[in-house]
Homo-oligomer: A and B are copies of this chain.
Amino acid sequence: MTDTAEFPPDDDNGHESGPTGWLTPEDLASVRAQLPLVYVDAVPVRVDDSGDVVAVGLLLRASPLGNMTRALVTGRVLYHERVRDALLRHIEKDLGPVALPRVPASPQPFTVAEYFPTPGITPFHDPRQHAISLAYVVPVTGDCRPQQNALDLAWLTPEEACSDTVQAEMVNGQGALVRQAMAHVGRLD
């Protein structure tokens, strides 16, 4: 989970408090030590006319230590928010307002990524919290412009995205999630 953009704010209003499911940073910190949080992970892809995946979109970010890392679109599901609306909100947050995502018709995720604060229980790790993330492959057809703290969005072939080089640039298990996504769409050789 690399949504460092989320804390502070991931909403349009620039704050995390308010009447509809927003927590103060203090409350959220407290809850994070006591409950698993619900997340979504979106793997943005380009598809050809037959629906076959031809490219995977990965965000390029600078880590707090100054390293470059690649990341998926990810973020929390809010109180009283549908999973598909959370997907749309986070894709717009990260890829801009004209990415034109096609959220799948089925709520069935291709996998559930369990990010534990303790490494090694699953391939996924999040030092801040226990997050249970519903993961979807989401074709986007519009113009994608990285927002907020992302430096760039790179479109890679499935083979490139699964290569050791790119995998080494992903953290907290998101590399494994990209490979699981490519397996799901039949593009993991």
Q: Is B134's CB under 8 angstroms from A112's CB?
A: yes
**Set of chain B residues within 8 Å of A68, measured between Cβ atoms:** none
Cα A176 to Cα B184 with chains together (Å): 12
Binds B, one of A2-10, A46-54, A58-66, A145-153: A46-54
Q: How many residues of A contact B (CB 8 A)?
A: 61
Cα A45 to Cα B105 with chains together (Å): 9
CB distance from A73 to the nearest CB of B (A): 15
Q: Is B37's CB under 8 angstroms from A107's CB?
A: no
Cα A36 to Cα B83 with chains together (Å): 10
For residue A88, CB closer than 8 A to chain B, the reply is yes
0 or 1 for each of A96-108: is its CB under 8 Å from B? (1 = yes) = 0000001111111
For residue A156, CB closer than 8 A to chain B, the reply is no
